[in-house]
Chain A
Amino acid sequence: QVQLVQSGSELKKPGASVKVSCKASGYTFTSYAMNWVRQAPGQGLEWMGWINTNTGNPTYAQGFTGRFVFSLDTSVSTAYLQISSLKAEDTAVYYCARSPVGATGWFDPWGQGTLVTVSS
Chain B
Amino acid sequence: QSVLTQPPSASGTPGQRVTISCSGSSSNIGSNYVYWYQQLPGTAPKLLIYSNNQRPSGVPDRFSGSKSGTSASLAISGLRSEDEADYYCAAWDDSLSGQVFGGGTKLTVL
On chain B, the number of residues with a Cβ less than 8 Å from chain A's Cβ atoms is 25
Q: List 9 other contacts, CB 8 Å, given A44-B103, A45-B88, A97-B45.
A: A35-B99, A44-B2, A45-B37, A45-B45, A46-B101, A49-B98, A105-B33, A106-B50, A110-B46
Closest 10 CB pairs of A and B: A108-B47, A106-B50, A47-B99, A104-B92, A110-B44, A44-B104, A45-B101, A106-B35, A61-B98, A44-B103
- Closest residue of chain A to B102, judged by CB? A44
Interface of A is mostly: loop
Question: Is B100 within 8 A of A111, CB to CB?
Answer: no
On chain A, the number of residues with a Cβ less than 8 Å from chain B's Cβ atoms is 23
Count of A-B contacts judged by CB separation below 8 Å: 60
- Closest residue of chain A to B104, judged by CB? A44
- Closest residue of chain A to B86, judged by CB? A44
